[in-house]
Amino acid sequence: MAHYLQDISHTFSEYLLIPGYTDENCVVENVDLSTKITKYDKNDNSSLKLNIPLVSAIMQSVSDDKMAIALAKEGGLSFIYGAQSIESEAEMIRKVKAYKAGFVVSDSTLKPESTLEDVLKLKKVTHHSTMAITIDGTAHSKLLGVVTSRDYRIGHTANSTKVTEFMTPFDKLIYAYEGITLSEANDIIWKNKLNCLPIIDKEQNLVSFVFRKDYDQHKENPNEVLDSKKRFLVGAGINSRDYQERVPKLIEAGADILCIDSSEGYSVWQKKTIDWIREKYGNTVKVGAGNVVDRDGFRFLAEAGADFVKVGIGGGSICITRETKGIGRGQASALIDVAKARDEYYKETGVYIPVCSDGGIVYDYHITLALAMGADFVMLGRYFARFDESPSNKLIVNGHYVKEYWGEGSNRARNWQRYDMGGDSKLSFEEGVDSYVPYAGSLKDNVMLTVKKIKSTMCNCGCTSIKQLQDEAKLTLVSSTSIIEGGAHDVIVKNNDNSK
């Protein structure tokens, strides 16, 4: 006879937090949302850490290099989607790592015989206005000059004009030699009122640039997450098919953490993938696994060596796994069960394995509920797909701006590896839909508002850290009637749309 779980499968919307005592110290400014996202023991401080508990989903319509850069600035992390060629994914990682490295290797370089037309074409590709002119057009050959947007005037400078006629030549550049510290380079930039400082070797070969904007952006984004070389942190999705070819390339490109992207992680395929990574790299490469929805699934992945475990099957807004295959569990119930298993494992072994809640988030307060239920961080797809920085198209549908959003199990994505069970290399049936989400503007504005809501709710609960919220939060199940009571009711809501 099948084994029946007695508890009903619950979602986040069926719970509310009970307020706790708020003392004078419990104000939004004092709330710390930093969180460790890879496993550690009591004496280990090497766990990867984020400043906000938000990561973007491993999806084609969500996480590319542009999203990764924007989210890292705010203190979170993106997992670059893996349903693309190995080289394409690795290149996205390289772009994130090169964006803010203090010393930036030029990705916008031209030859002296290039023209303004070449400058404009390259600018469309890289979106960078500062371009090095080197003797052979490569990033590390002899520097002859620099072109910026101030050196030409579109409509007045002919497109056929060679760059040597309007660039700032080397003998008029202020530059520094390889070996200078970032602090010293920034001092030169400020003293001479420069936007960039070329770094060269003794043979005048270009090594890198230091940009004023990187210094300014650091001051504007105090929460940004950086590695030891002051580059943005970035994650990458992998699968259980081509990991032996993909993982080395992603690590070489600079990925800080990997995650096996699968709709269901309680499988031999995930163990084989982790085993191979541990055999080749030991514990130096961090890799998360999932997704699971109960204690057995967590224990399996924990013992397999996962650095974090992802929870959730069928709860995503574009996921139809539950109605297609009849598997899954309400996200709240799954998370509570797995978090309990995580705590048991910690008591037994002294090793803490962070839990990532993936799916089921409809409202911002659901994020706070997920944290209170034991999640160390939350993975979001639909939430981030709405922003300017997501890779999908922005369209007008029925008079409203929307962005395209499709599931990895949809025919559009064709990400069969995510649903791989060791069979044919194809997607037999869909487990996701192709859809639109309302356009919401910039990531920065929305994330700032979400973070304020999370911090405010935590203050209402009398908590100033995620750990304290997990230990002290009080939650209650709500009835269908009380859910209705929680929204606007028994009134006529005014139409605040000023455009009508």
* Residue positions annotated with a catalytic role: 319, 418
Report the C-alpha gap between 497 and 410 in whole angstroms. Answer: 35
Please state the φ and ψ torsions of residue 4, each to the nearest 5 degrees.
-105, 125
Report the C-alpha gap between 33 and 329 in whole angstroms. Answer: 27
* Spatial contact of 364 and 45, defined as CB atoms under 8 Å apart: no
Report the C-alpha gap between 343 and 387 in whole angstroms. Answer: 35
Q: Verify cis geometry, omega within 30 degrees of 0, for the bond prior to 291.
A: yes
Residue with tokens 């640039």: 209
Please state the φ and ψ torsions of residue 14, each to the nearest 5 degrees.
-90, 10
Report the C-alpha gap between 339 and 352 in whole angstroms. Answer: 11
* Spatial contact of 132 and 196, defined as CB atoms under 8 Å apart: no
Between strands 394-397 and 400-406, the pairing is antiparallel
* Spatial contact of 224 and 202, defined as CB atoms under 8 Å apart: no
For residue 157, list its beta bridge partners. 154
Please state the φ and ψ torsions of residue 232, each to the nearest 5 degrees.
-65, 140
Report the C-alpha gap between 186 and 74 in whole angstroms. Answer: 23
